[in-house]
Chains A and B, each alone.
Chain A
Amino acid sequence: MNFTDTIAAIATPIGEGGIGIIRISGPKALSIGRHILRTPKSGLFSTIEPRRVYYGYVVDPEQEVTLDEVLFFYAPKPRSFTAEDVIEIQAHGGTLVLSKILQQVLRSGARLAEPGEFTMRAFINGRIDLVQAESVIDLIRAKTDKAHQLALSQLNGRATRYLQQIESNLYQILVNMEALLDFPEEGIPDLEKARIQTEISQIIEKLQQMLATVDEGRKIREGIQITIVGRPNVGKSSLLNALSQEEKAIVTDIPGTTRDIVDVQLQLRGIPIVLNDTAGLRETDNPIEQIGIQRAEQSLEQSQFILAVFDISQPLNDEDRFVLQRLEGKKVLVVLNKADLQHRLSLDELSGYHLGDPVLVSSLTGEGIERLEQRLVEEIGVGNLQVDDRPMLSRLRHRNALETAIEALQSFNFGLEQHQSEDLLAVDLRSALSAIGEITGKNVNEEVLHGIFASFCIGK
């Protein structure tokens, strides 16, 4: 556990439109800010004064690519929310843009904040009093324990086996090195450095490929994935807003407004949930809308639970049936929206799909929303949560760990070229493995010890 490094996260709920805030807190906040922020004339900020709002751009300094036009301000410690140095960047809010900026911040030396970590730091640094702290402690309890278990329990599927294979190859190398270091004169074979260098290069490549599979615009997932589907304009976004009681998705009556996936993190009766609002599912010629629909279908595939929304004020049409066909074999709760309008939908036809009892709601009046929450909690029933099979790299934290591992392995190979001694090479290999261990849950010291005795005949 480390509370003295620099953390960053998207501090506002992610949604299309409006403004999104990236918050960076910790000793490196200012230097990271300087690194990625540019003046309107694309220069570096020579001075960044405390508590002044600046206008400029966030760039990827290596590629010299502009990511977004932003406002930002700097609050030095202790007069900030966390009582640490804080930089807040207000950007244009789109999921894709915000996550790109966040990734740039993380590449520049920050670590992704754990859930509730900003508040926790505020508390640690004495910015929050004890009354407020009680709730923070609950949050820490719930989040850290659950998140930890979740992180481990989500380890399955092909991607994981792939990573574990890489991990086990790395351990073979490390164990050989460590046995050499700890047991001189025991006839342990020397390292075949050329072969190891090739192997590490291949591993670096594999890890880079894994990174590349991450869909850049993917959400930060920290809870049970629930996808809302339905044909365009049945009121999915307004349902999402009603559930989260905030304006997050763009709600209009122009069909096809939601083109990307919009996430909302919320707690339903104590269960952390990520609601994914998707583009309306339908056949379309509009290429941009098609992309949105593709993503929606992906999200549908990977989701642990589905809220299927239909408009009760309209009879089922072909577009609805298009949606219904995609729900077979999934955990689904059917929601009939717009209950405040006249009911024209045939319940008989719907029941032919065997999707269970529908819930009647009106996002507009709020009628039935509480009942929906109740049903959702029952249906999800934390106990029978299906652990999914999606590639784990949808988690930004995992992405970070892999980036750290790649960097360490590159440094390892550089060290090999430079003929560095094994004790120093081990530093890099250990830090690569400890980064991967954040995903797989393995402890380097224990694995090494076990590996040495399993692999070599030690003992004079």
Chain B
Amino acid sequence: MQQYEVIVVGGGHAGCEAALAAARIGVQTLLITMSPDTIGAMSCNPAIGGPAAKSHLIRELDALGGAMGQIIDRSYLNIRTLNETRGPAVAALRAQADKRLYQAEMTLAIERQPNLQLKQGLVTEILVEQGRAIGVGLKSGRKYFGKTIILATGTFLGGQIVMGDVKYSGGRQGEPAAIELSESLKRIGLELRRFQTATPPRISCRSIDFTRLSPQPLQRLEWGFSWNGLKEIREQMPCWVTTTTRKTVEVIQSNLHLSPIRNGAVSGKGPRFCPSIDRKVLKFPDKTDHLIFIEPEGRSTEEMYLLGLTTAMPESVQEQILATIPGLEHAEIIRPGYAVEYDCLVPFQFYPTLESKRVANLFTAGQLNGTSGYEEAAVQGLVAGINAARKVLGQKPLVINRSSSYIGVLIDDLATKGTDEPYRMMTSLAEYRIFYRLDNALHRLGEIGYQCGTVSESDWRFRQGLLNAANELEQFYQTTKVRMDASLWTELKLPPPNRGYRLNELIIRPEITEESLLTYYPEIAKYPLPVRQYVWNELKLEGYLNRQRSDYEEVSRLEQIEIPLHFEYNRISKLSQEGLALLNHIKPLSLGQALRIPGLSEGDRALLYIYFNNSQGAA
């Protein structure tokens, strides 16, 4: 009988990161997937990053030793910066992925990873003994035993595909759902609910009239998602832009009765930030020019993705819609758009370590936990993988704090506030956004990744080099006196100052850019881009950072005050009944988390604060 230390169920973005993380830490890991052909598949938009916080998640994931950043940096079709003028905290990256290459690279990474075994199989059952998960049972009748189990089932758990009023079982178009596993999860005491998501049609490249479309400009970047550096890809492939028309809106309006959002075919809750074109027309009937991005899916395929045109209308209506859009009049649909409804967990069933409260040694990650998006899934996979391995090794669990990162914000939101729609990361969800930037993710999390064992020695040496260089450059700014010769000041259109300035004082002025300094201080240019960006932003934002710093540090301090796992709250006299019920339901792991529980009264919060703040170290 084969005994593993970590068994990961599911080969999507969460499952892959989970399996790689656990194996890197050095525990015997098994990854079970229905199909080894679809490891790391991008079921929806073939892109990483984009909306601001998603790229932040990947930089953070990479700092912690995750794989997604490195792989997309080798498999992109184009990569661009977004939001550059909107400020350093929200500057973002977006890479269009060659989705087959991405999958191939991820599959290879899994196959080559020491301590990790890949296996095909359909898991139908979680084996539980005395409240602890001990293994999984397969459709084939085979059982695998493991000290910890990580579930990353994506849209496959109880998946049902919807197009118009047609509804049938499936986890992704053309692939079977995991039906028995849902029943098994309910039997072991987990509560499930339905969420849904949808995807647009893919069309054939040759059927597009490109003369009617405009390409998005390409960029050549020095640095991508990973701290290890970006692979240069000379011939990038652009994405294209068109818009819907009045006619599009009319077609949709006259067919709305066939849309699953109207005909009742979908009962699960969909993501607000990723509505179907049907819903957009329904909600904003006066808007006719919805942006549609036409995106290549890879170098070895002619399929093009239609970002912005998500719909699960019947295929014939999808054709009518396309016929109204400039450039797509004669589009041939290869894969029609569809919606998929799936089982995921009712909130508050896992700790911020992603371990189940109900079943010990069982971890969950990704869409199963109520999120949406590859990046959101990947970071949870990594955290679940690290914690499953640490549990096997008898180490203290890792909680990524809300005050450290978007990863922390995401997990804390899920564990403390819950979500009633598929959760997507946004920068506006973070209270201290200017502290969580792309450029300082390594400073925030690099050391943790190295300590966990998910970052290799050689990667860490390189990353330490970046951190040291950043120190050096910061010193340079802080100790270098600004030259007083007139030309600099003329160029800056400023009167020469009447006292000595240091560089760091100078650059606080909003009109100063790094470019304007490089002529006078060429030594700055020798530092790699991420180092320069980090130092520049730290110094430039100093005023704003300092204004928030004491609040931010207090929040961080509260995160460090731990609450024991099975703490009996009735030991704190005077807590209200409602407060007790909430605390016993959420089971917070830190004082900071406890104080954020929605609905907890001010009085209860004060009591918790006093109790744990006082007993810190004494408990």
Name A residues whose Cβ lies closer than 8 Å to a Cβ of B.
1-5, 120, 123-124, 126, 134, 137-138, 140-142, 144-145, 147-148, 178, 180-187, 418-424, 426-427, 445, 448-449, 452-453, 457-460
Contact = CB atoms under 8 A, between A and B. Distances in A.
27 contacts: A2-B551, A123-B610, A124-B609, A126-B614, A134-B573, A137-B607, A147-B602, A181-B427, A182-B426, A184-B92, A185-B82, A187-B291, A419-B511, A420-B87, A421-B88, A423-B86, A423-B88, A423-B89, A424-B541, A424-B544, A427-B547, A445-B429, A445-B431, A449-B429, A457-B287, A457-B290, A458-B273
A182 B573 contact: no
B87 A1 contact: no
B interface, by DSSP: helix, strand, loop or mixed? mixed
B548 A182 contact: no
A314 to B, nearest CB: 48
A427 B90 contact: no
Interface string B203-247: 000000000000000000000000000000000000000000000
B308 A424 contact: no
B275 interface: yes
A421 B437 CA distance: 14
B283 interface: yes
Given A141-B574, A423-B88, A457-B284, A178 B428 contact: yes
Contact of B87 (A134, A147, A423): A423
Contacts of B601: 144-145, 148
A449 B428 contact: yes
A427 B51 contact: no
Nearest to B608: A1
Given A120-B606, A126-B614, A422 B434 contact: no
Contacts of B52: 181-182, 184
B554 A4 contact: yes
A181 B607 contact: no
A453 B88 CA distance: 24
Nearest to A147: B602
Contacts of B89: 423-424
B309 to A, nearest CB: 9
A137 B574 contact: yes
B275 A181 contact: no
Contacts of A445: 428-429, 431
Nearest to B541: A424
A140 B603 contact: yes
Given A182-B426, A460-B307, A422 B86 contact: yes
Contacts of A182: 51-53, 90, 426-428
Contacts of B293: 185, 460
Nearest to A426: B433
B274 interface: yes
Interface of B: 45, 50-53, 82-83, 85-90, 92, 271-275, 280, 283-284, 287, 289-291, 293, 307-308, 310, 426-429, 431, 433-434, 510-511, 541, 544, 547-548, 550-551, 554, 573-574, 595, 601-603, 605-607, 609-610, 613-614
Given A424-B87, A424-B544, A138 B574 contact: yes
Contacts of B434: 423-424, 427
Given A5-B550, A137-B610, A180-B86, 9 more contacts: A3-B609, A126-B614, A144-B603, A178-B427, A419-B510, A423-B88, A453-B272, A460-B274, A460-B307
A2 B548 CA distance: 13
Output the residue of A141, A178, A180, A184 with the most chain B CB within 10 A. A184
B435 to A, nearest CB: 11
A421 B51 contact: no
B605 A1 contact: yes
A120 B554 contact: no
A184 B82 contact: yes
- The 6 residue pairs across chains A and B that have the minimum distance between CB atoms: A421-B87, A423-B87, A423-B89, A144-B602, A184-B82, A145-B603
A407 to B, nearest CB: 11
A413 to B, nearest CB: 14
Contacts, number: 141
A145 B609 CA distance: 15
A140 B606 CA distance: 7
Given A185-B82, A453-B273, A459-B274, A423 B90 contact: yes
A144 B606 contact: yes
A140 B428 contact: no
Given A1-B595, A140-B603, A427 B274 contact: no
A185 B49 CA distance: 13
Given A138-B574, A453-B273, A120 B610 contact: yes
Contact of B51 (A3, A184, A449): A184
Given A181-B86, A422-B86, A460-B308, A452 B428 contact: yes
A192 to B, nearest CB: 15
B287 A145 contact: no
Nearest to B271: A459
A219 B289 CA distance: 57
A97 to B, nearest CB: 31
Contacts of A140: 603, 606-607, 610
A351 to B, nearest CB: 44
A137 B573 contact: yes
A393 B129 CA distance: 62
Nearest to A191: B86
Nearest to A454: B283
Contacts of A426: 433
A184 B308 CA distance: 13
A419 B87 CA distance: 11
Contacts of A137: 573-574, 607, 610
Nearest to B293: A460
Could you say which of A148, A453, A459 has the most chain B C-beta atoms within 10 Å of its C-beta?
Answer: A459
A421 B287 CA distance: 29
Contacts of A448: 428
A427 B613 contact: no
A4 B89 CA distance: 27
Contacts of A142: 603
Nearest to A179: B428
Nearest to B428: A178
B117 to A, nearest CB: 38
Given A124-B613, A141-B603, A144-B603, A181 B544 contact: no
A459 B53 contact: no
A142 B429 CA distance: 32
A111 to B, nearest CB: 12
Contacts of A457: 280, 283-284, 287, 290
Given A423-B434, A424-B434, A424-B541, A181 B90 contact: yes
A126 B618 CA distance: 13
Contacts of B310: 459
A459 to B, nearest CB: 4
Contacts of A459: 271-275, 280, 308, 310
A420 B603 contact: no
Contacts of A460: 45, 274, 291, 293, 307-308
Nearest to A418: B510
Nearest to A148: B602
B221 to A, nearest CB: 16
A123 B85 CA distance: 49
Nearest to B424: A182
A123 B609 CA distance: 12
A126 B291 CA distance: 61
A419 B601 CA distance: 41
Contact of A427 (B273, B308, B548): B548
Contacts of B284: 457
B574 A421 contact: no
Given A145-B601, A418-B510, A184 B83 contact: yes
B55 to A, nearest CB: 11
A128 to B, nearest CB: 11
